[in-house]
Amino acid sequence: MTENPQQQTSSTGTAAIAGGPLRQAVVIGGNRTPFARSHGAYASASNKDLLTAALNGLVPRFGLQGERIGEVAAGAVIKHSRDFNLTRESVLGTVLDHSTPAHEVQIACATGMEAIGGLANKIRLGQLDSAIGGGVDSISDAPLVFNDAARSVLMDLNRARTVQDRIKAVLRFRPGHLAPEAPGTEEPRTGLSMGEHQARTTHRWGITRQAQDELALASHHHMAAAYDRGFFDDLVTPFGTLTRDNNLRADSTLEKLASLKPAFGRDLGDEATMTAGNSTPLTDGASAVLLGSEDWAAARGLPVLADFVDFETAAVDFVDGQEGLLMAPAYAVARLLRRQGLTLQDFDYYEIHEAFAGTVLATLKAWEDEEFCRERLGLDAPLGPIDRARLNVNGSSLAAGHPFAATGGRITATLAKMLHEKGPGSLGLVSVCAAGGQGIVAILRGR
């Protein structure tokens, strides 16, 4: 089966490039593993195990056994060097046709959104008829490496050509060289973790502890209710011992959340407000989203949940502290709305990644702030408030957890289903912040 060839041979034997109007890229469905707090239920599962599981849950749901998909794109933020071809190896572990090409993408926590958005653009251009985008991360399977001093000794030992040189290299080895180094969680330019960066942003925007705890509580309660009514039945495939995300706390209360001590921004003293309860934990999991052209879906009798309308990437200069590390989506949304001729109030649903409760609340406050919108976004007036009843209505990352590269797929599949249930023409806005001062936002439209 040939996937939408790019070129047609002319009568002269030269290649003629096919052209035509842009097509609509559609979201057909999605699948993910339950998300698990790291070093727990998935302690022995690798990135490849998890991504393969997410794909293997997606394939039979849509009758894709033996099908050659146009392209699969996914990624992991933290992975071993052995996983240099992670997505392709995961595809080879499925019952998809093994001639399905696959490649890696990575833009920190927005990896899944970049994979999905890039594939949607290829479908719009006619380069692909079908695609799967997603991501995976297993903190439990994080690579542990030798430190620089140990690596120097080992390299010298490898280069040694005489017995004397080998002995000299071995004598440099110290017990401390055996201590492995885990992947760092600090921003290289500042030395601060994402949580410490957000603590400063949260404080700067005057976000209260109660507001953060209330957002976290709503996330848990909304997601628990969605599971109970069966909303996730066709979006989540059991893996290992889990059928639900094990970070989910249906019995959480404001009193329990209020009892937690600050985990970030302790240098702020009594004004520190960010706790383990209103921040996402380190998490393992994977997600995958099936995309296609309308014709491809129709030919196979597959449902179409939503159109993938558009997406935008932004980055901010956070190094000097003048802008928050996780504020890039605030800028990206303004650009995307301008391009699409929409207002912030035009959406039926808002899916804003809850890296921290403070991230969501600071972003919302920025959109309402006249000075921020004028000076930073170049707007004549604030973007304004949103209807909070439309925000993360089935819970989000504070409840599910956040396997970095998998969050974009979780959000896209969830929103597409919500919009399909809402009805044709309904609109949804996705916002995902990422390390490095970056972020991706997207618009979906219900079918």
Question: Residue 283 contacts by C-beta under 8 Å, 6 or more apart in sequence?
Answer: 35, 36, 37, 38, 137, 139, 247, 400, 401, 402, 403
With contact defined as beta carbons under 8 Å apart, do 283 and 403 qualify?
yes
CA angle 437, 72, 90 (to 5 degrees): 100
Task: Pick the catalytic residue from 353, 373, 420, 433.
Answer: 433
What are the strands, taking DSSP E only, across 302-426?
A: 306-315, 349-352
Q: Tokens standing for 241?
A: 């011992």
- Give the whole-angstrom CA distance, residue 133 versus residue 405: 11
Whether 220 is a known active-site residue: answer: no
Phi/psi of residue 26, nearest 5 degrees? -120, 150
Clarify whether 373 is annotated catalytic.
no
CA dist 361 and 84 (Å) reads 37
**Are 328 and 367 contacting, i.e. CB atoms less than 8 angstroms apart?**
no
The rounded distance, in Å, linking the Cα atoms of 131 and 69 is 6
Please report where in the chains the tokens 């290649």 appear, as a residue.
15
d(CA 142, CA 183): 7
Cα-based distances in Å from 325 to 112, 322, 360:
19, 9, 13
Catalytic residue among 109, 220, 353, 420: 109
Q: Which residue from 210, 209, 331, 217 is spatially nearest to 270, judged by alpha carbons?
A: 209
Helices (H), 107-265: 111-125, 148-159, 163-171, 194-204, 209-228, 254-258
Tokens at 2, concatenated: 């040939």
Q: Annotated catalytic residue: which of 220, 353, 402, 420?
A: 402
Name the H helices within 249-327. Answer: 254-258, 294-299
Which residues form the catalytic set? 109, 402, 433
